[in-house]
Amino acid sequence: MSTKKLSKGRQKIDMVKIKNESYLQVTFSKRRAGLFKKASEFCSLTGSEAAIVVFSPGDKAYSFGCPGVSEVIEKYENETSHLVNSSSTVEEVHHRANIIRVNNEFEALQAQLDDAKKRSDKLAEIVEATSKRYWWQVPINELNIEQLECLKFAYDELDKKVQLRAIVAGLFTDSISFDNQNASGFGRANGLQSDKFFNNDE
pLDDT digit string, tens, across residues 87-106: 556 677 677 777 777 877 88
- pLDDT (0 to 100) of residue 6: 57
Structure confidence at residue 157 (pLDDT):
81
Q: How far apart are the C-alpha atoms of 188 and 183, rounded to whole Å? A: 9
Convert 56-85 to b/e letters by CB count within 10 Å (16 or more is b).
eeeeeeeebbbeeeeebeeeeeeeeeeeee
> What's the pLDDT band for 117 if we cut at 50, 70, 90?
confident
For residue 70, is pLDDT > 70?
yes
**Could you give the percent of the chain with pLDDT greater than 70?**
62
Q: How confident is the model at residue 34 (pLDDT cuts 50, 70, 90)?
A: very high
What average pLDDT does the structure give for the chain? 73
**Of the given ranges (31-40, 52-61, 101-110), which has the lowest mean pLDDT?**
101-110
Whether this prediction's pTM lies above 0.85 is answered by no
Is residue 65 within 8 Å of residue 71, measured between CB atoms?
yes
Task: Parse the chain into domains and list their residue ranges.
Answer: 21-67, 73-132, 135-195
Q: Decide: helix, strand or coil at residue 192.
A: coil
Other Cβ atoms less than 10 A from the Cβ of 43: the count is 16
| Confidence at 201, pLDDT banded by 50, 70, 90 | very low
Helix, strand, coil shares, percent, the chain, to 5 = 70, 5, 25
DSSP state of 15: S
Q: pLDDT confidence of 198, banded at 50, 70, 90?
A: very low
In angstroms, the CA 187 to CA 35 distance is 131
For residues 121 and 22, which has the higher predicted lDDT (pLDDT)?
Answer: 22
Span of 80-84, 180-184, 192-196 with lowest mean pLDDT = 192-196
Handedness of CA 186, 192, 194, 196 (dihedral sign): negative
Most confident of 25-29, 110-114, 146-150: 25-29
Residue 38 confidence (pLDDT):
92
- Tell me if 72 sits within 8 A of 51, measured CB to CB: yes
pLDDT bin (cut points 50, 70, 90) of residue 162 is confident
- Structurally, at CATH architecture level, domain 21-67 sits in 3-Layer(aba) Sandwich (3.40)
The predicted model gives 108-116 an average pLDDT of 83
Between 93 and 149, name the one with better pLDDT.
Answer: 149
